[in-house]
Amino acid sequence: MKIAMALAAAGLVLGLGAGGAVAQQSMTLKSADVHPKGYPTVEAVENMSKKLEQATNGRLKVQVFPSMQLGGEKEFLEQAQVGALAMARVSGGVMGPVVPEINVLNLPYMFRDSEHMYKVVDGPIGDELLQKITDNPNIGLIGIAWMDGGARNIYDRVRPVAKMEDLKGLKIRVIGNPVFVDMMNAMGANGVAMGYDQLINGLQTGVVDGAENNYPSYATGQHYNYAKYYSTTQHLMVPEILVFSKRVWNQLSPDDQKLIMKVAKEAQQEQRKLWQAMEKKSLDIMKENNVVLTEVSAAEKARFKDAMKPVWDKYGAANQAMIDRIQKVQ
């Protein structure tokens, strides 16, 4: 039913003849994001559309559906699989259960800082992991670009979190991935898997006491209206992924495929500048809305990191060679 509704809502028009790709076909490529207009990932894809329109004299363009208009990220993947969406921006956390190799990026405290993450996804490791998505025979998706998702931190409506003990008894929403549930439990809270599109209702009803996310998601989602305490645990730095529907991709000419890949790689770099500006703006919004911002000490972050050993042992063993490669990137 969800897929049928998605097909109707997305209204993808390919206008293809019997069999094979059609060169010079005018197409509107539909893309979705849970975040609102003006969010860095949304703006980056809109900029891709401008480039495609300019390069093809208006023959190719992208129509972005922001603000969860077409559901949550799991729904986006389903819609892309059947061709109702051409593109979707999803978290690596959502992709991990679908393509297990991606879970290596979902391990807590994997990256030293943003620069380390950039070097990993911009290099051969990033290319290999996108290819793992493309080569997966079961999902019908192509990995075309990485986007910055910043550092994720814990926020809640009960009390400030300055140390691990402050998390005891708190129900914290995480992305629907067993890695993150186990991570949050190891931190001392109770991890609750829940879609981003369900979070505000969960906070309002008390199903969860808080969540974990970056500054821009917290600020643009206005989560400060429901959870005032924000703590810089920086426990995750999960790259976001732009995926493309194989069903739609296979209807494009090789030249169009090459062009889309080119503007996607440009978006990978451009989105970072948008992201860094949005992080600063989001902090200002948080201060304006009287968020209680708790800076977690380096010593306490080290305790959080040490507590992640069982999570690394459980989920990292199968990808130890890749982990070693990531940690060696300078």
What's the angle, vertex CA 86, arms to CA 83 and CA 90, rounded to 5?
Answer: 110
Contact 243/87 with Cβ under 8 angstroms?
yes
- Check residues 9 and 300 and name the one with the higher pLDDT: 300
Average pLDDT over residues 121-129: 98
pTM confidence score: 0.89
Question: How far is Cα 45 from Cα 25, in angstroms, rounded to an integer?
Answer: 21
pLDDT of residue 13: 39
CB 191 within 8 A of CB 185: yes
By three-state DSSP, how is residue 60 classified? strand
One-letter amino acid at 276 equals Q
Task: Give me the mean pLDDT over the 49-70 stretch.
Answer: 97
For 242-291, the pLDDT digits (tens) are 999 999 999 999 999 999 999 999 999 999 999 999 999 999 999 999 99
What percent of the chain has a predicted confidence (pLDDT) above 70?
Answer: 93
* Per-residue confidence (pLDDT) for residue 24, from 0 to 100: 66
Ordered structural domains, the chain, with CATH: 2-16+26-150+238-279 (3.40.190.170), 156-237+280-328 (3.40.190.170)
Residue 18 has pLDDT above 90, yes or no: no
Type of residue at 147:
M
Q: Which residues contact 167 (CB under 8 A, 6 or more apart)?
A: 154, 161, 187, 188, 189
pLDDT band, very low/low/confident/very high, at 23 (cuts 50, 70, 90): low
Torsion, Cα 74 3 31 213, to 10 degrees, reads: -20
Query: Taking the mean position of all CA atoms in its chain, how far away is CA 289?
Result: 25
Helix, strand, coil fractions of the chain, as percent rounded to 5:
50, 20, 30
Question: Position of tokens 């529907």?
Answer: 245
Would you say residue 1 has pLDDT above 80? no
Whether the per-residue pLDDT at 235 is higher than 70: the answer is yes
Percent of the chain with pLDDT over 90: 92
Q: In angstroms, rounded to a whole number, what is the distance separating the alpha carbons of residues 124 and 144?
A: 14
At residue 140, the pLDDT reads: 97
User: Mean pLDDT, the chain, as a whole number?
Assistant: 93
319 contacts: CB under 8 Å, gap ≥ 6: 101, 103, 104
pLDDT for 15 beyond 90 = no
The average pLDDT across 120-146 equals 97
Tokens 């010079």 identify what position? Answer: 24
Say if residues 203 and 223 touch (Cβ distance below 8 Å). Answer: yes
Would you say 213 and 200 are in contact if contact means Cβ atoms under 8 Å apart?
no
3-state secondary structure of 192: strand
Place of tokens 């929403």: 173
In whole angstroms, give the CA distance from residue 263 to residue 169.
46
